[in-house]
């Protein structure tokens, strides 16, 4: 986990090279109009070793992808988030009469018996996300989540649910991130939309789909033909490191730092810029 600490004349200090635990979640994809749920943003968590003090490390927080306002529009993939050499891919948008888009997690298939988009766009091991679910006739598929594939529509009137995200305790408490969006369904035609996956996935709807959760990278909910589909949620970067270290969050970034026992936890919620430690 965190690298070894050194004891000196004046007590415990941060070594010249130290380790940082990270959670990097990308923006979720937008849901599809009359279509599939948006795929969750890619989610990667591990430890980056051998970081140096007084060195700038780039951070970027990906925005969620826009939904689709109508038949002539197009939904949008989420945007990549990154910390230093680690990046996570934006979620794929939900399909509209077509397959879902690939991404960190794939978007759900649109109405008309369409496949879900592929997940793990970055070809990472372990994978950053899962594939979207397929549609069945008029019922759309759910967007993939970081922890599970999006649900395939259960019938021609039951849309697929969004795939579940993954739980992380990097802040000191277990929180789910990167759930997929629920597939859309036209309720006036007796169709049942899918629900969003645990981890911020937006619910599908006939006229009122919900957006993916902010700073969780949830996929946006798909819709029927009565309303615009919902946007994906923005991503987040969370860093956990030795309590004796002091971080500088550079211009262009929005973030805050809390203490959890022997560690500090910095949560960066928006922007692009650099961080460094002293």
Is residue 13 scored above 60 in pLDDT?
Answer: no
pLDDT tens figures, 64-108:
999 998 877 889 999 999 999 999 999 999 999 899 999 999 999
Q: What is the distance between the alpha carbons of residues 66 and 267, in angstroms, rounded to a whole number?
A: 24
> CB under 8 Å to 72, separation ≥6 — which residues?
none
pLDDT at 234 over 90: yes
**155-183 residue pLDDT tens:** 999 999 999 999 999 999 999 999 999 99
**Closest listed residue to residue 89, CA positions, set 46, 33, 26:** 26
User: Which comes out higher in pLDDT, residue 226 or 35?
Assistant: 35
pLDDT, one tens digit per residue, over 118-156 is 999 999 999 999 999 999 988 999 999 999 999 999 999
Q: Please report which residue ranges of 128-223 form alpha helices under DSSP H.
A: none
At residue 226, the pLDDT reads 82
Taking residues 44-53, what's their average pLDDT? 96
Q: What is the pTM of this model?
A: 0.94
């Amino acid at each position: 986990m965190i690298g070894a600490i050194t004891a000196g004349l004046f007590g415990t200090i941060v070594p010249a090279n130290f380790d940082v635990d990270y959670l990097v979640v990308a923006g979720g994809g937008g849901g599809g109009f009359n279509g599939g749920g948006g795929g969750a943003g890619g989610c990667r968590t591990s430890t980056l070793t051998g970081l140096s003090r007084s060195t700038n490390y780039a951070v970027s927080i990906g925005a969620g992808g826009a939904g689709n306002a109508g038949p002539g529009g197009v939904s949008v993939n989420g945007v990549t988030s990154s910390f230093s050499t680690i990046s996570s891919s934006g979620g794929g948008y939900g399909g509209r009469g077509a397959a879902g888009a690939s991404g960190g997690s794939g978007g759900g298939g649109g109405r008309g018996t369409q496949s879900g988009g592929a997940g793990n766009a970055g070809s990472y091991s372990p994978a950053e996300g899962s594939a979207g679910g397929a549609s069945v006739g008029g019922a759309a598929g759910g967007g993939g989540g970081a922890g599970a594939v999006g649900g395939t529509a259960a019938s021609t009137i039951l849309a697929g649910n969004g795939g579940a995200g993954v739980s992380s305790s990097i802040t000191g408490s277990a929180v789910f991130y990167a759930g997929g969006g629920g597939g859309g369904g036209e309720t006036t035609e007796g169709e049942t939309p899918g629900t969003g996956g645990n981890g911020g996935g937006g619910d599908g709807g006939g006229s009122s789909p919900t957006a993916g959760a902010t700073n969780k990278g949830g996929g946006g909910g798909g819709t029927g033909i009565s309303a615009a589909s919902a946007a994906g949620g923005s991503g987040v970067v969370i860093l956990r490191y030795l309590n004796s270290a002091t971080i500088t969050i550079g211009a262009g970034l929005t973030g805050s730092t809390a203490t959890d026992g022997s560690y500090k936890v910095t949560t960066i919620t928006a922007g692009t810029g650099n961080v460094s430690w002293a």
